Amino acid sequence: MKILITGAAGFIGFKFSEYLLNKNYSVFGVDNLNNYYDVKLKKKRLLELQKYKKFSFKKIDLKNSKNLENIFKKNKFKYVFHFAAQAGVRYAIIAPRDYINSNINGFFNILDLSKKYKISRLFISSSSSVYGDLKKFPFKENFNLQPNNVYSLSKKFNEDLSKSYSNFYNLNVTALRFFTVYGEWGRPDMFIMKFINSANNKKIFLLNNHGNHYRDFTYINDVTKILYKLLKKKYKNNYEVFNICGNRPIKILNVVKKLKYLLEKVKIQNVKKHKADVYKTQGSNKKLTNAIGKINFTSLDEGLKNVLNWYNLYYKK
């Protein structure tokens, strides 16, 4: 059985590809290897995947529907996991067009080809940011969404358009609302990696909102296990949406304290809240655990320890 993974050189796409390959699935990865963050890290992830015989890769941009269709034509994919996107809420304020290109146009190509080539189920990446700056916690899947920037709006549009394809064309779709995923091989534009990089390079770390906001950090190896269970699950509905989170929000300042104790080198400069940031994310995972059973979430302490070990072994310059 062959599975298409878009964004295979990205953080979650890479880790999930690796997970599937270890379970002996055939994985076809695509990615445009854009330079939103360290391209060397993306290439290193690909080198890890290329150690597996059952991994193939093609560098393409999802905007290019012809190239993408050729891949669907030549391979009989049973499932598609769509992770490729322009990520990040802050960058959305700076480069909105990148989000329209990848998250709207690129997304449409994946959705439409999944319909045309009768994919058994398409899994799409949504985000906790679709909830917006809500003050009612924990966020539940049936809440009214209040996205307010081009990133979160693009993710809500992805969900809505998938739902419509489910209705009109019976396409099976599972939408995955990820909450601040972190771990080994993580994204350098996100808080934990940024902080470790600042310490390592003896740079000043700009701490948004003095660290007074909360995030529901979710460890990557928990995420890959969840994704696998969602792949194996029998679905009653064509369209489903799940929060992917531990429902364990933590104040950023407390994460800084944990990291400061580990690193002791970083110089912190407090700055005011970034316009694009929300105060708190906290997701309910009741719907998820009802669907796939109990999940033993990794503690933040253990997750951070693993990130630091990986960083020192593989990433530190």
- Provide the annotated active-site residues: 151
Q: What is the CA 29 to chain-centroid distance, rounded?
A: 15
Residue 99 token pair: 């989000």
Residue 122 or 168 with smaller CB distance to ligand NAD: 122
Task: Round to whole Å and give the CA distance between 282 and 140.
Answer: 9
Min dist CB 214 to ligand NAD, Å, is: 15
Residue 112's Cβ-side half-sphere holds a number of Cα atoms within 13 Å equal to 13
Q: Considering all CA atoms of the chain, what is the largest pairwise distance in Å, rounded to the nearest integer?
A: 56
Helix/strand/coil for 147: coil
Task: Round to whole Å and give the CA distance between 180 and 150.
Answer: 18
Min dist CB 205 to ligand NAD, Å, is: 19
Residue 34 or 209 with smaller CB distance to ligand NAD: 34
Q: Which residue is nearest to ligand NAD (CB)?
A: 10
Residue 106 or 256 with smaller CB distance to ligand NAD: 106
Min dist CB 294 to ligand NAD, Å, is: 23
Residue 126 or 166 with smaller CB distance to ligand NAD: 126
3-state SS track over 177-221: EECCEECCCCCCCCHHHHHHHHHHCCCEEEEEHHHCCEECCEEHH
Q: Show the beta-strand stretches assigned E in 130-272.
A: 173-178, 181-182, 204-208, 214-215, 218-219, 239-244, 250-251, 267-271
From 170, 184, 172, select the one nearest 231 (Cα to Cα). Answer: 172
Q: Cβ contacts of residue 129 below 8 Å, gap of 6+?
A: 89, 147, 149, 151, 152, 155, 278
Which residue ranges make up the site for ligand NAD (CB under 6 A)?
A: 7, 9-13, 31-34, 42, 61-63, 83-87, 102, 106, 125, 127, 178, 180-181, 187
- Compute the CA torsion angle 163, 165, 169, 171 (nearest 10 deg): -70
Min dist CB 186 to ligand NAD, Å, is: 8
Min dist CB 68 to ligand NAD, Å, is: 9
* Contact present, 170 and 20 (Cβ < 8 Å): no
Min dist CB 11 to ligand NAD, Å, is: 4
Residue 70 or 270 with smaller CB distance to ligand NAD: 70
Residue 242 or 261 with smaller CB distance to ligand NAD: 242
Q: What is the CA 122 to chain-centroid distance, rounded?
A: 15
